[in-house]
A and B are shown apart, each in its own frame.
Chain A
Amino acid sequence: MMGPMFGGGGRGSASNPGGGLPFAGVPWEMQEGVNRLLADEPEHDDTEHAFSYRPAPDEKQRVTLRLLVLRHWNLALWSGLFVAVVAVANQAGPELVSYGINHGMVHKDMTVVLTVAILYVAAVGITAISQRAMVKVTGRLAAQVMHDLRVRVFTHLQRLGLDFYTDEKAGVIMTRMTSDIENLQQLLQDGLAQFAVQGLTMVVIMAVLFTTNALLALYAVLMVLPLLVVGSLWFQSASERGYDRVRDGIANVLADLSESLHGVRVVAAHNRQARNVVHHRNVVGEYRDANNYTAQINAVYGPGTQVLSYLSQAGLLAVGGEMVLHHRLSIGGLTAFFLYMNRFMMPIQLLVQQYNVFQQGQASLVKLRTLLDTAPNVGEKAAAVELPPLEGHIRFDDVSFGYDPAQPVIEHVDLEVPAGQTVAFVGPTGAGKSTLAKLVTRFYDPTAGQVLIDGHDLRDVTIPSLRRQLGVVPQEPFLFAGTIRDNIAFARPGASDDEVWEALRAVGLDDVVTRMPSGMDTEVHERGQSLSSGERQLIALARAFMARPRVLVLDEATSNLDLASETRIEAALDLLLQGRTAILIAHRLSTAMRADRIFVIDDGRVAESGTHDELVEMGGRYAAMYRTWSSHTSVTG
């Protein structure tokens, strides 16, 4: 996964960009431009990124725009400087023109005209140069802040536990990481700088107004500001609600799209396409309504402030005109005042526009903040230690647990797996077998009691040091987009080809992979059909083989396999399990029978335990299950 990624393929190995995706990439007439652009792209370091379950001190602070920007204070400082230069140089233009007219042309002085024209060109040049620098610096600042935000939010997502991922729709999480962050781009790239430029301009002009005529300035300010403040306060609260609705709306749209894509087989099998099209339209329609609501608010606020500026000018005309009529003001004074007033209202207009961008970004930031404030269900203590290499002795000490504390799934379980033993959990669906396994891998923490490995309470050790020594093969084999090799070497990306082949041989996939045109480098992904579901399961097993864990948990990992493959794997498993602790969760008693010890889990408790023979002898639940099972095999004979 290295080299410049480009085109529609998203991720793909450098040797096979695009990975056979139908997206052709760049239109041919633009290819040259793209090549030129990519020619000077540096190699980006794409290796493992420092990750810890414990948030760094600066990650504990609430995410605010100020903090995000201040992390790059030097860029922010430079951008502030250029912003100021642009604001001042911009104001110089009109001053120079009026000077040139009043002193040069009126007095027929060509040198003044020439000087002014040269100065004017210089001012324009300064504006252009500082503008250029400003765009460069703010662009970098925005890129940097967005990068930080992406990494930070994703880091937090990696810390969050499985409970978060089961409760939150994938599309909503996706929206936070994409749409919400992208929504800040505009604000960071232009918004903040514009905000500063216009704010500064307003201050400068205000100062000029007050020095010209304090009384009139006061009138003007009193006429404009109170209404502007009231209007802005209204806009703030109304747009906050509006943009929040918009963010929820887009999350729903993307969640619906994402589910439709991931569940596309079910959708097709049930002829739901037409109905789903209407459903999606309804979801998109709600999003449109939310957008339309913000359009209403904007349509009132934007032109409203403009009307306000005209009203203030009408007021100025009335008051100023009256003053002239009573000889308290000269015409020239009034005219000058009109001009300044105009220039005072311009930045307000632009500020109002930027305020809208700001509010949009703020709504996204609120969503991101909520996500970042979600505490992981499984955290790492400050004093957590690295788990030393494991023997693999597992003990449940009076463990109770419920996903919903009101509904316990596991109650007072005491259980011990000696190091190096293979145990099987059997029992009816929903009895809590997988839950026990999830407590061992610390996907969840028990509500009472403790789970210990080699005498360490799992809550006292660092999570990666624990999980790196555990291997789990879950029920659903999930394949990442990439090659078969990438998928198998998932836990050890640096593994050699020989090691990967060894893992493939162990699960009996070597024949299949050899027959593939690109062998181990065949591209697979989530839904791709180059592999059957059984083969996917085998890849998942090979993945666990590669990880060489001290403790292995197989959660129904062989249910999709035909019996021949299973037999073959179990031979390999026997090899793998040698000297390792293993927990098998099985419906097939044939799998369970291989275990050194069998635990019958029922109703969240250990109902029986012992070897296969002991349990059959005992004549309890296991014996009954075994009878049912073996009767099935014989009925068919």
Chain B
Amino acid sequence: MISDLVDSTTTPSPFEPAPEPARYGAPRRGIDPDRTKSWMRRALPIVAAHKVSFATALSVSFVSLVLQVEIPQLLGTDALNKAVVPFVEQASRPVAERLPASHFEHLLLHYVVLVLILAVGAGICGYISRLFLMTTAYQIEFDLRNIIYSHLSRMSFSYYDRVQSGQLISRANSDIRSVQMYLTFGPSILVQCLVAVVAFGYMLATNVALAFVAMCAMPFIYVAGVRMRAVLFPVSWLIQSRLAEVATIVDENINGVRVVKSFAAEGQQLGQLAGAARRLRWAYVKDADVRAQFTPVVQNLSQLGLALVLLFGGWLVVHDHLQVGTILTFSFWIVMLQMPFQMLGMMIMMGQRASASAHRIYEILDEPAEVADRPGATDLVECRGDVRFRSVTFRYTPDGPPVLEGFDLHLPPGQTVALVGRTGSGKSTVARLIERFYDATEGTVLIDDHDARDLTITSLRAHVGMVLDEPFLFSVSIRDNIAYGRPDADITDIEAAARAAGADGFIRELAHGYDTIVGERGYTLSGGQRQRIAIARALLVNPPILILDDATSAIDVQVEKAIHERLETLMAGRTTLIIAHRLSTIGLADRVVLVEGGRVVADGTHAELLATTPLYAEVLAQAAELEATEAETAEAPGAGEPEAADRRGGRDS
């Protein structure tokens, strides 16, 4: 886990896209990986990384606290007792012995100036301590967010297959916030509580018996605090998990909005959310009940001490064992105790919330990355593009059915191979194993005769380009979307890639051309347009191994044909794996591999398979049938200008 924290940009891999200029430093430390430790001890390294500013904030706030105690002292005891009271008292003396009023006025002025200086000093200290405390808090939040993000960026796909984004987002939001609040304000509250210790010291020095009477409520406060913690934790956990439930529903609703709208399921979605909101409301009510049970106790028990001081002290005074002034002083000290105890209750509450949240955050951070570089993994360099599956078996989940079983396949360098098979036969899985989104359960995947698991993931992926069946676009400009794998590419390269993918035409028709920001997921573009941008994105990287996973399904035949013509030249010398259902796409391949039930069942040219394998004909049933009827009439006409078709360039999906 500690190695997680090493800033990945400090060791730039030649296989990764050029890093974005970092304007902010990476977190210096991460959480303690030892799961047996308490959550606070695990968080300690992060806090310790900012110990200077933290210590500054705490010590300055202590100074300002002292100043704040000092000012009333100066105002009351000093200024009044020395500058005003003597003046009144000297009225009883003979006039000759009296000091002139101006003397007292000077003295008064002296104290006023002193108070002013102290006030300004307290102000400056207050400013510094608060600024340092809050900026440290925000720095810790910054660290936590980045630690989680970089951890998530190392997670394997089997992880992403299981988790819901809403869960992760909620943990990266509400839970971070509650941990951060506690880590920062907790210590400052503790500093304030120091006042209580100081006050108790003063009391002991003045009157031991009275001091113990004043503090006799403390053990009860401690007991109440411990009980409160035990009861608060489950409630806090409940609240946090239900906040995540709300977030998950919202996240899904937004991402599935098209389905929701299509089926007029708004009411049903609202019902789900309202249900979650009601459960959350119930949890908050429970939280209020728990707080109502304990806060009055924790906050007011110290006051009972005062009542006892009043009673016991009063008895002492009445029987002349004690001066009235002492009682007065004691009552001031006990009042001073009130604030820290009120805050103590708050601190326990924040602490339990933070503890629940920290557990939820650690749940993310403790999950190891499944696909990770082995120790001693080597870089894949000068890739020839030789891909071999050697009796590979693969399951998405340990107890799930095997998706590939004893799968053998060899893609020699430079060959274009089409993978054909029925829905769910395991074609896309083959692509995902080459890209090492997953590792084979049994058997090996070899790239240039290296076991893929012995290669560094970045170097492997740098040599494998993949166009996914789902053309996900980011909400940045089209230029940045195409340059996703090579952010430093110049515009001529980007345009060349777009031309090859048949995208240049419609992009130019857009109002802002390549600078057009595509909306969330690129939904402002049609499905075919998105696919073409995704192809351009893969082509720009110019990888020796290219995988097209159903990458042209939404592109109309004419445009696809034009893309294929360009791809054919681009595919020269490149190992290409095409997963497709269209005969026209399959026609690009040198060789066709038929997959069924996770195995290769036939391998050869299209004609061979058609002749020898009934299943192949069955899979291609419709096209084959058509072929038979249309073969003689077929004649290749000019494909026309595919781009011209996109003159509108609008959204059409």
Q: A300-B127, A317-B115, A559-B553 are in contact. Are A133 and B292 (CB under 8 A)?
A: yes
Q: Does B627 contact A (CB under 8 A)?
A: yes
Chain A stretch 76-110: residues in CB contact (< 8 A) with chain B: 93-94, 97, 100-101, 104-106, 108-110
Q: B203-211, B295-303, B379-387: which one contacts chain A?
A: B295-303
How far is B88's CA from A538's CA once the two chains are assembled, in angstroms?
A: 97
Contact indicator per residue, chain A 16-57, by CB within 8 Å of chain B (1) or not (0) = 000011111111001001101110011011111111000000
The interface stretch among A217-225, A230-238, A283-291 is A283-291
Check: A618 CB closer than 8 A to any chain B CB: no
User: Looking across the interface, which residue of chain B has its beta carbon closest to that of A315?
Assistant: B112
Query: Which residue of B has the minimal Cβ distance to A40?
Result: B286
For residues 234 through 286 of chain B, which have their beta carbon under 8 Å from a beta carbon of chain A? 234-235, 237-238, 241-282, 284-286
Contact A303 B123 (CB under 8 A): yes
Chain B contacts of A474 at CB under 8 A?
A: 258-259, 262
* Chain A residues within an 8 Å CB radius of B636: 627-628, 631, 635
The answer for the CA separation of A590 and B627 in the assembled complex, in Å, is 12
Alpha-carbon gap, A493 to B272, bound state (A): 12
B454, chain A: closest CB distance, angstroms: 18
- A480 adjacent to B153 (CB under 8 Å): no
- Write the nearest CB–CB distance from B640 to chain A, whole angstroms: 7
B535 to chain A, nearest CB (A): 13
Is B164 among interface residues, defined by CB-CB distance under 8 A?
yes
A166–B273 contact, CB under 8 A? no
Distance of B418 from chain A, by nearest CB (Å): 10
Given the known A-B contacts A331-B80, A342-B72, are A634 and B262 also in contact in the complex, defined by CB atoms under 8 Å?
no
B169 lies within 8 A of chain A by Cβ: yes
Q: Decide: A44 and B279 in contact? CB cutoff 8 A.
A: yes
Does A527 interact with chain B (Cβ within 8 Å)?
Answer: yes
Q: Are B152 and A261 in contact (CB under 8 A)?
A: yes
Q: Which of B159, B267, B428, B610 contacts A464 (CB 8 A)?
A: B267
Assess whether B484 is in contact with A633, with CB atoms less than 8 Å apart.
no
Contact of A5 among B254, B274, B276 (CB under 8 A): B276
Smallest CB separation, B512 vs chain A (Å):
11
Whether A127 pairs with B296 at a CB distance below 8 angstroms is yes
Give the distance to chain A from B111, nearest Cβ to Cβ, in Å. Answer: 7
Alpha-carbon gap, A285 to B146, bound state (A) = 10
For B120, what are the chain A residues with a Cβ–Cβ distance below 8 Å? 307
Partner of A628, one of B157, B359, B639, B646: B639
B523 within 8 A of A: yes
Contact assessment for A281 and B268 in the assembled complex, using a CB-CB cutoff below 8 Å: no
A562 CA to B487 CA in the complex, in Å? 35
B627 lies within 8 A of A633 (CB): yes
Q: Name the interface residues of B611-625: CB closer than 8 Å to any CB of A.
A: 618-623
Is A162's CB under 8 angstroms from B237's CB?
no
CB-defined interface of A541-567 with B at 8 Å, one 1/0 digit per residue?
001000100000001100111111111
Contact size class for A? 35 or more
Interface residues on B, range: 35 or more
Quick check: B630 and A48 within 8 Å, CB to CB?
A: no
> Which residues of the partner chain B approach A101 to less than 8 Å between Cβ atoms?
324, 327-328, 331
Stretch at the interface among B189-197, B467-475, B492-500: B467-475
Q: For chain A, residues 249 to 298, give those with C-beta under 8 angstroms from any C-beta of chain B.
A: 250, 253-255, 257-282, 284-285, 287-288, 291-292, 295-296, 298
Indicate if A418 sits at the interface (CB-CB under 8 A): no
Which residues of chain B come closer than 8 Å to A485, judged between CB atoms? none
Question: Are the C-beta atoms of A117 and B314 separated by less than 8 Å?
Answer: yes
Query: Could you tell me if B263 and A547 are in contact, using CB atoms closer than 8 angstroms?
Result: yes
| A196 in the interface (beta carbon within 8 A) | no
* Residue of A with least CB distance to B146: A281
Q: Are B648 and A526 in contact (CB under 8 A)?
A: no
C-alpha spacing A407/B291, complex, angstroms: 59
Say yes or no for B17: interface residue by CB 8 A criterion: yes
Question: Is the CB–CB distance between A303 and B122 below 8 Å?
Answer: yes
Which of B317, B487, B528 has a CB less than 8 Å from the CB of A105?
A: B317
B249 touches A11 (CB 8 A): yes
Report chain A residues within 8 Å CB of B149. Answer: 257, 260, 277, 280-281, 284
Residues of chain A within 8 A (CB-CB) of B274 are 49, 151, 154
Q: Within the assembled complex, what's the spacing in Å between the Cα atoms of A487 and B131?
A: 51
- Establish whether residues B634 and A634, one from each chain, have CB atoms under 8 Å apart when the complex forms: yes
Q: Is the CB of A30 within 8 A of B557?
A: no
**B233, CB-defined interface residue at 8 Å:** yes
In the assembled complex, A505 has its CB within 8 A of some CB on chain B = no
Which residues of chain A come closer than 8 Å to B527, judged between CB atoms? 429, 475-476, 556, 559
Say which one of A62-70, A167-175, A388-396 lies at the interface with B.
Answer: A167-175
Q: Is the CB–CB distance between A272 and B484 below 8 Å? A: yes
A1: min CB distance to chain B, Å: 7
User: Is there a chain A Cβ closer than 8 Å to B52's Cβ?
Assistant: no
Complex-state Cα separation, A277 to B273, whole angstroms: 32
User: Is A15 at the interface (CB under 8 A from chain B)?
Assistant: no
Tell me whether A216 is interfacial, beta carbon within 8 Å. Answer: no
Q: Which of B75, B177, B247, B631 contacts A174 (CB 8 A)?
A: B247
Q: DSSP class of A's interface residues: helix, strand, loop or mixed?
A: helix
Q: Tell me if B374 counts as interface (CB < 8 A to partner A).
A: no
| CB-based contact B287/A261 at 8 Å | no
Q: Does B405 contact A (CB under 8 A)?
A: no
Q: Kindly state whether residue A146 has any CB partner on chain B within 8 Å.
A: yes
| Contact B561 A8, beta carbon cutoff 8 Å | no
> CB distance A562 to B85 under 8 Å?
no
- Residues of the B chain whose Cβ atoms lie less than 8 Å from the Cβ of A461: none
| Partner pick for A325 among B108, B259, B524, B630, CB 8 A cutoff | B108
A257, chain B: closest CB distance, angstroms: 6
**Minimal beta-carbon separation of A297 from chain B (angstroms):** 10
A444-B68 Cα distance, complex, nearest whole Å: 64
In the complex, the answer to whether A139 meets B287 with C-beta atoms within 8 Å is yes
Using Cβ atoms and an 8 Å threshold, which residues of chain B touch A632? 557, 561, 583-584, 587
Separation of A281 and B606 alpha carbons in the complex (Å): 50
Query: Is A120 located at the chain interface by the 8 A CB criterion?
Result: yes
User: Complex Cα distance A409/B653, Å?
Assistant: 12
Partner of A560, one of B170, B243, B550: B550
Q: In the complex, are the beta carbons of A409 and B428 less than 8 A apart?
A: no
Which of B64, B68, B87, B399 has its CB near the most chain A CB atoms (within 10 A)? Answer: B87
How would residues 133 to 148 of chain A score, 1 for a CB under 8 Å from any chain B CB and 0 otherwise?
1011011101110110
Q: A46-B272, A314-B112, A321-B79 are in contact. Are A307 and B122 (CB under 8 A)?
A: yes
A575 within 8 A of B: no
Q: Is A215 an interface residue (CB 8 A)?
A: no
Q: A136-B292, A147-B281 are in contact. Are A470 and B262 (CB under 8 A)?
A: yes
Q: Mark B114-144, 1 if CB is under 8 A from A, else 0.
A: 0110111011111110110011001101100
- Distance in Å from the Cβ of A194 to the closest Cβ of chain B? 11
Q: How far is the CA of A278 from the CA of B26 in the complex (A)?
A: 8
- 1/0 contact string of B442-464 vs chain A (CB within 8 Å): 00000000000000001001101
A182–B363 Cα gap in the complex (Å)? 22
Given A128-B300, A165-B254, A275 contacting B280 (CB threshold 8 A):
no
Report the Cα distance A299→B511, complex, angstroms.
47
Q: Given known contacts A50-B267, A154-B270, A478-B258, is B250 in contact with A637 (CB within 8 Å)?
A: no
Asked if B230 is an interface residue, CB under 8 A from chain A, the answer is yes
Q: Which residues of B contact A177 (CB under 8 A)?
A: 246-247, 250
> Judging by beta carbons under 8 Å apart, are A432 and B648 in contact?
yes
B601 neighbours in A (Cβ, 8 Å):
none
Chain A hits for B87, CB < 8 A? 324-325
Stretch at the interface among A199-207, A367-375, A433-441, A576-584: A433-441
Residues of B near A478 (CB, < 8 A) are 255-256, 258-259
Q: Which residues of B contact A564 (CB under 8 A)?
A: 422, 618-622
Q: Write 19 A-B pairs (CB below 8 A) sorted by A numbering.
A: A10-B164, A10-B245, A38-B238, A48-B271, A97-B310, A100-B310, A104-B314, A128-B300, A136-B289, A165-B523, A261-B160, A269-B468, A275-B17, A280-B149, A288-B141, A307-B123, A310-B122, A529-B157, A562-B420
Known pairs A120-B303, A258-B165, A266-B484. 4 more at Cβ < 8 A? A166-B520, A265-B470, A270-B461, A560-B423
Q: Which 7 A-B pairs have the closest CB atoms?
A: A139-B288, A428-B645, A303-B126, A534-B423, A113-B314, A285-B24, A310-B119
